């Protein structure tokens, strides 16, 4: 049985870098627009988790049996990053989780693998990228950070695959030796001449296999890091300009391995049922796919809105742009700034992380089966009724909460001081004292609504210390506030509006 | 089952306390030696006369050898105890029980901390990595949660509350300024305190206790033996220690304006000591002013002020050295300094001086000399709001009140 797309999720980080700030720092001509920037506590794994969570938050989405994670900038080598994503999503252990890491092209391979696996059981592809480059270079100003995830299954598809084609050739366009942080590129006219004919070939073959013509295409997505080749293809494939999906690179940058899937998500968020979508990925050859949306699409679009998910077209406009260039450079390791005068953090203990996997990666509390009290972190003995071992896990990663009180900690170790600490009361019960991120201190108050986000707290001795932080619920989202017993439990004393 | 206490059964017959501060020239061994020798000298005994030792330190050593090795103690029991910032008081409490039980005649509690070898200006804590999910908030940040919560609960403007915090720091610096053992011996203007760089939330540098080195020691015996060593012992009236279930950090009903552990330990200690109105019965209190809002909240938790009114009492000078109930007349953690394992015993040392009228005239409190009050309280807290251990002790200069 064929599989199709049943859900998708995208994630663009909170921060944007004004390209003008780069020119201002170097005394060169100011660039225009912005690029999306992963925060200091984000990497490709955490970006992927955020995108995948959103894909799975849509009502009715099946639990994936296989997870394929792809990024050119993996947080770990040898160790599988997909297992971290798998754990953060709280997926059952009886499933596969695999990395396809290293090249941009592997991103689309993850989509193909998930589509294939999806014929037998639900599968998810997670594509994530963090484009850094060298200070002052094109990659830095034109790249962007983000992730997208797609769930494939044999039933309930919002888009069916009609045809797929790939073309491969060996040539040197963009490359990076392991250990280097910035990729290199050959003279770009060479890449354009090599890539464009390959892409045309893949595109034509995918259409032929779908038994369609260019005129049948309602939406065309062309993705690739080679800007000239992509621009050329967008205008010369014979698809009218109004049917070519918008390019958001001016505002968020080129998302690299995540660009194709983000573009497809954007189209799905606007498309009607029965429309034909062609996606062309240009990297070391080309991959083309032709899809047709189904009558199930409007229902999933509505379910996404109900879940409070932000469409790509809205997310590109919701970034925070007052990020100083020097701070960006520090986050990326391109500026060696004086560290906080605190002891370096130590790596977390592997056995402890494994014992507490549900808490650390899945943000699962324990709820007392006798009295319902929710404990964060999970405990065996109930605070309220003292029952022993009468607990059930309760995942709160996707539950929202309210700031009961908070503080700005100038002393604590942070890769980007100051650390913001907060006491969070979750809807439906459960209090947690932890760290906040993506915070506008001027807008933070007792009563601020928060959502949880998966982050890397620090890296020590080569170990990434992943855990969850709270962040204010994104602006402009029609949040489905789950006003429940938990909110009523916020102490009246600290529920009032005011500066903390 | 009951907390019966050991009222008047144990007497303090000697004490020693080193100056606190950034003692670059002193090791933990030096500090232990200084405090211990001063203590036995004050009791008129030799170290060999002490039958058992309790050593309190958070992290300046492990095991009883930390004390027995530098002091060359010959084959005596030395118990190392640790209970966060209440470590010194915990050493004292256990030494008291040892003599009260009849197991030993003379017991010594010694507390020490050598913090200033770390190379960092603040507290650096101890290794607690585990699964890496513990929030890395600093101590001032954890206590800074008290400020907005108190302001909201009692409708106090946050700027007014900051001035209350400033007043507490000002008072404790005033007290420390005339205490030769204190780490900071200068008065600091309210303007300087209020405008000091922020550390966490509304807490500035001057809202935080001093990180310092120091040691203190006490020797106790059964009360009936006290006259062998001194004409003016202090009697132990009540000792209470509680560890909470860390409810505040996970219970949405906790509102960050009180330490339940302090309320419970105070009630227990007052019951043991027969205290019904601490504000009028106590001559003085040494409380755990690790940060200025802590002292504010403690005034209510210890029953010195009604809920929601301590901020007014602070501004009215109730707890000044010449006020109705002097609090931290020695300068407190704020200006005397906070070498963690020693602090609880340092508090006791101030009771030792004040209740026995041996403080220098310029800082002897009138509640003893003029009002004739005889009881002193020490309060020692470890952890933070919602998750702490608390000690409350009461000592007095008269065998019966």
CB neighbour class for B37 (10 Å; exposed up to 12, middle 13-18, buried from 19):
middle
Q: Which of A64, A65, A46 is nearest to A55 (CA)?
A: A64
Which residues in chain A land under pLDDT 70? Answer: 1, 475-500
Chain segment B129-171, per-residue pLDDT in tens: 899 998 688 999 999 999 999 999 999 999 999 999 999 999 9
A-interface mutation test, from B252, B290, B383, B384, most A Cβ less than 10 A away: B252
Structure tokens at A175: 């490359």
C-alpha B364/C-alpha B102 separation (Å) is 35
pLDDT score recorded for residue B126: 59
C-alpha distances (whole Å) from A297 to each of A5, A117, A161, A218, B134 are 10, 21, 14, 15, 42
Q: Does residue A406 sit in the same domain as residue A301? A: no
Quote ipTM for the complex: 0.91
Q: Judge: A409–B256 Cβ closer than 8 Å, yes or no.
A: no
Chain B residues at the A interface, defined by Cβ less than 8 Å, are: 118, 120-122, 124, 127, 129-133, 135-138, 140-142, 144-145, 148-149, 151-153, 158, 197-201, 245, 247, 249-257, 386
- Domain range enclosing A416: 352-362+397-495
Shortest Cα–Cα distance, A249 to chain B (Å): 36
Topology of domain B10-120+213-228, CATH: Peroxisomal Thiolase; Chain A, domain 1 (3.40.47)
Using left for φ > 0, alpha for ψ between -120 and 50, and beta otherwise, residue A422 falls in beta
Contacts of B135 in chain A (CB under 8 A): 421, 433-435
Q: Does residue A93 sit in the same domain as residue A8? A: yes
Q: Is A148 contained in some domain? A: yes
Q: Does residue A290 sit in the same domain as residue A358? A: no
Q: Is A25 contained in some domain? A: yes
Q: Does residue A275 sit in the same domain as residue A405? A: no
Contacts of A355 in chain B (CB under 8 A): 131
Q: Is A338 contained in some domain? A: no
Predicted TM-score (pTM) of the model is: 0.93
Contacts of A496 in chain B (CB under 8 A): 152
C-alpha A420/C-alpha A414 separation (Å) is 10
Q: Does residue A318 sit in the same domain as residue A406? A: no
C-alpha B321/C-alpha B170 separation (Å) is 12
Q: Is the pLDDT of residue B401 over 60?
A: no
**Residue of chain A nearest B137, judged by CA positions:** A412
Contacts of B132 in chain A (CB under 8 A): 347-349, 352-353, 360, 457, 465-467
C-alpha distances (whole Å) from A387 to each of A368, A378, A390, A470, B169 are 8, 13, 6, 29, 44
Instruction: State the virtual CA torsion across A482, A485, A487, A489 in degrees, nearest 10.
Output: -170
**Pair A144, A113: CB distance under 8 Å:** no
How big is the A-B interface in CB pairs under 8 Å? 151
pLDDT score recorded for residue B127: 60
Question: C-alpha A472: how far from its chain's center?
Answer: 17
pLDDT score recorded for residue A480: 42
Contacts of A486 in chain B (CB under 8 A): 252
C-alpha A255/C-alpha A148 separation (Å) is 10
Average pLDDT value for residue range B258-280 = 98
Domain at A470, CATH number: 2.40.50.840
A-interface mutation test, from B117, B123, B132, B257, most A Cβ less than 10 A away: B132
Average pLDDT, chain B: 96
Average pLDDT value for residue range B253-260 = 96
Chain segment B205-233, per-residue pLDDT in tens: 999 998 999 999 999 999 999 999 999 99
Any residues with CB less than 8 A from the CB of A357 and at least 6 apart, and which? A87
Domain at A69, CATH number: 3.40.47.10
Q: Judge: B148–A429 Cβ closer than 8 Å, yes or no.
A: no
Q: Does residue A326 sit in the same domain as residue A448? A: no
Q: Judge: B153–A494 Cβ closer than 8 Å, yes or no.
A: yes
pLDDT score recorded for residue A485: 30
pLDDT score recorded for residue A157: 97
Is it true that B10-120+213-228 and B140-209+234-396 share their CATH fold? yes
Q: Judge: B127–A432 Cβ closer than 8 Å, yes or no.
A: no
Angle at A131 between CA A127 and CA A201, to 5 degrees: 60
Q: Which of A148, A158, A318, A312 is nearest to A246 (CA)?
A: A312
Closest residue to B132, CB basis, from A409, A411, A467: A467
C-alpha B105/C-alpha A158 separation (Å) is 84
Parallel, antiparallel, or unpaired for β B203-204 and A174-175? unpaired
**Residue of chain A nearest B149, judged by CA positions:** A494
Q: Does residue A71 sit in the same domain as residue A138? A: yes
Q: Judge: A407–B257 Cβ closer than 8 Å, yes or no.
A: no
Q: Is A68 contained in some domain? A: yes
Q: Does residue A402 sit in the same domain as residue A322? A: no
DSSP string, A347-369: PPPHHHHHHTHHHHTT-EEEEET
- The C-alpha R_g of chain B, in whole angstroms, comes to 20
Q: Is A346 contained in some domain? A: no
C-alpha B218/C-alpha B12 separation (Å) is 7
Chain segment B83-116, per-residue pLDDT in tens: 999 999 999 999 999 999 999 999 999 999 999 9
Q: Does residue A263 sit in the same domain as residue A404? A: no
The count of domains in chain A is 2
**Pair B112, B214: CB distance under 8 Å:** yes
**Pair A347, B129: CB distance under 8 Å:** yes
Closest residue to B255, CB basis, from A342, A467, A494: A494
Q: Does domain B140-209+234-396 have CATH number 3.40.50.300?
A: no
Structure tokens at B197: 């760089």
Q: Where are the domains of chain B?
A: 10-120+213-228, 140-209+234-396
Contacts of A376 in chain B (CB under 8 A): 250
C-alpha distances (whole Å) from B31 to each of A140, A469, B75, B112, B133 are 56, 43, 21, 7, 36
pLDDT score recorded for residue B136: 80
Angle at B175 between CA B173 and CA B181, to 5 degrees: 95
Q: Is the pLDDT of residue B125 over 50?
A: yes
In this structure, the number of other CB atoms found within 10 A of the CB of residue A176 comes to: 15
Any residues with CB less than 8 A from the CB of A383 and at least 6 apart, and which? A373, A375, B245, B247, B250, B251
Contacts of A407 in chain B (CB under 8 A): 137, 141, 144-145, 200-201
Instruction: State the virtual CA torsion across B253, B254, B258, B260 in degrees, nearest 10.
Output: 90
Q: Does residue A211 sit in the same domain as residue A271? A: yes
In this structure, the number of other CB atoms found within 10 A of the CB of residue A398 comes to: 15
Q: Does residue A288 sit in the same domain as residue A401? A: no
Q: Is A284 contained in some domain? A: yes
Q: Judge: A407–B127 Cβ closer than 8 Å, yes or no.
A: no
* Catalytic machinery residues of B: 85, 338
Q: Strand, coil or helix: what is A462?
A: coil
């Amino acid at each position: 049985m064929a599989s199709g797309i049943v859900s998708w999720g995208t994630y663009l980080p909170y921060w944007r870098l004004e390209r003008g700030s780069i020119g201002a720092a170097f005394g060169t001509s100011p660039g225009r627009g912005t690029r999306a920037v992963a925060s200091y506590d984000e990497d490709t794994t955490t970006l992927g988790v955020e995108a995948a969570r959103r894909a799975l938050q849509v009502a009715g989405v099946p639990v994936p049996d296989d997870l394929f994670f792809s990024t050119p900038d993996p947080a770990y080598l040898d160790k599988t990053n997909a297992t971290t994503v798998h754990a953060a999503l709280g997926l059952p252990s009886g499933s596969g989780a695999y990395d396809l890491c290293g090249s941009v092209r592997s991103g689309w391979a993850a989509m193909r693998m998930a589509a294939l696996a999806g014929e037998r059981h639900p599968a998810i592809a997670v594509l994530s990228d963090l484009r850094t480059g060298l200070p002052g270079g094109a990659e830095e100003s034109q790249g962007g950070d983000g992730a997208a995830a797609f769930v494939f299954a044999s039933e309930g598809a919002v888009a069916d695959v009609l045809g797929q084609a790939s073309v491969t050739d060996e040539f040197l366009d963009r490359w990076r030796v392991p250990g280097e942080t910035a990729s290199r590129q050959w003279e770009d006219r060479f890449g354009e001449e090599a890539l464009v004919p390959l892409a045309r070939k893949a595109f034509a073959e995918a259409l032929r296999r779908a038994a369609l013509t260019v005129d049948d295409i309602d939406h065309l997505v062309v993705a690739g890091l080679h800007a000239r080749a992509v621009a050329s293809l967008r205008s010369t494939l014979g698809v009218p300009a109004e049917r070519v999906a918008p390019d958001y690179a001016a505002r968020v940058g080129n998302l690299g391995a995540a660009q194709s899937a983000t573009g497809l998500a954007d189209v799905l968020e606007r498309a009607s049922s029965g429309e034909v979508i062609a996606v062309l990925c240009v990297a070391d050859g080309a991959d083309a796919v032709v899809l047709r949306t189904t009558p199930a699409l409007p229902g999933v679009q509505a379910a996404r809105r109900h879940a409070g998910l932000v469409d790509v077209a809205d997310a590109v406009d919701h970034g925070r742009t007052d990020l100083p260039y020097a701070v960006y450079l520090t986050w990326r390791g391109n500026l060696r700034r004086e560290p906080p005068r605190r002891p370096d953090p130590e790596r977390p203990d592997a056995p402890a992380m494994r014992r507490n996997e549900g808490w650390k990666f899945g943000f699962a509390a324990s709820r007392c089966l006798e009295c319902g009290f929710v404990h964060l972190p999970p405990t065996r003995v109930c605070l309220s009724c003292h029952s022993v071992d009468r607990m059930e896990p309760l995942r709160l990663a996707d539950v929202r909460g309210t700031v009961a009180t908070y503080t700005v900690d100038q002393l604590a170790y942070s890769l980007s001081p100051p650390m913001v600490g907060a006491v969070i009361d979750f809807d439906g019960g459960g209090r947690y004292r932890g760290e906040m991120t993506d915070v506008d201190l001027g807008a933070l108050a007792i009563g601020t609504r928060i959502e949880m986000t998966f982050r890397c707290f620090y890296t020590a001795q080569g170990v990434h210390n992943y855990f969850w932080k709270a962040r204010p619920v994104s602006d402009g989202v029609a949040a489905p506030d789950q006003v429940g017993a938990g909110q009523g439990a916020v102490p009246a004393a600290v529920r009032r509006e005011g500066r903390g | 089952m009951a907390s019966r206490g050991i009222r008047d059964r144990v007497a303090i017959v000697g004490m020693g306390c080193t100056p606190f501060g950034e003692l670059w020239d002193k090791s933990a061994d030096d500090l232990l030696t200084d405090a211990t020798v001063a203590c036995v000298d004050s009791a008129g005994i030799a170290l060999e006369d002490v039958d058992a030792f309790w050593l309190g330190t958070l992290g300046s050593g492990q095991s009883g050898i930390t004390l027995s090795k530098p002091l060359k103690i010959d084959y005596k029991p030395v118990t190392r105890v640790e209970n966060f910032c209440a470590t010194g008081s915990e050493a004292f409490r256990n030494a008291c029980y040892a003599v009260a039980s009849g197991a030993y005649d003379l017991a010594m509690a010694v507390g020490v901390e050598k913090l200033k070898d770390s190379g960092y200006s603040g507290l650096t804590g101890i290794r607690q990595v585990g699964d890496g999910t513990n929030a890395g908030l600093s101590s001032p940040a954890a206590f800074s949660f008290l400020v907005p919560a108190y302001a909201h609960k009692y409708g106090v403007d946050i700027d007014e509350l900051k001035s209350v915090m400033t007043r507490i720091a000002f008072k404790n610096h005033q007290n420390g300024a005339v205490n030769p053992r204190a780490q900071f011996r200068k008065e600091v203007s309210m303007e300087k305190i209020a405008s000091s760089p922020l550390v966490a939330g509304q807490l500035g540098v001057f809202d935080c206790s001093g990180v310092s080195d120091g040691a203190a020691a006490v020797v106790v015996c059964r009360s009936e033996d006290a006259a062998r060593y001194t004409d003016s012992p202090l009697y132990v009236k009540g000792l209470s220690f509680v560890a909470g279930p860390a409810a505040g950090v996970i219970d949405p009903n906790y509102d960050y304006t009180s330490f339940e552990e302090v309320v419970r330990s105070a009630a227990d200690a007052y019951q043991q000591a027969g205290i019904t109105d601490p504000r009028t019965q106590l001559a003085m209190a040494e409380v755990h002013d690790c940060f200025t809002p802590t002292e504010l909240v403690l005034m209510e938790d210890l029953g010195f002020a009604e809920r929601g009114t301590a901020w007014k009492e602070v501004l009215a000078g109730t707890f000044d050295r010449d006020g109705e109930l002097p609090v931290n007349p020695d300068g407190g953690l704020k200006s005397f300094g906070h070498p963690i394992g020693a602090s609880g015993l340092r508090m006791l040392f101030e009771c030792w001086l004040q209740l026995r009228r041996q403080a220098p005239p310029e800082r002897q409190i009138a509640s003893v000399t003029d009002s004739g009050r005889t009881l002193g309280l020490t309060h020692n807290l470890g952890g933070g709001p919602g998750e702490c251990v608390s000690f409350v002790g009461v000592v007095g200069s008269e065998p019966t009140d």
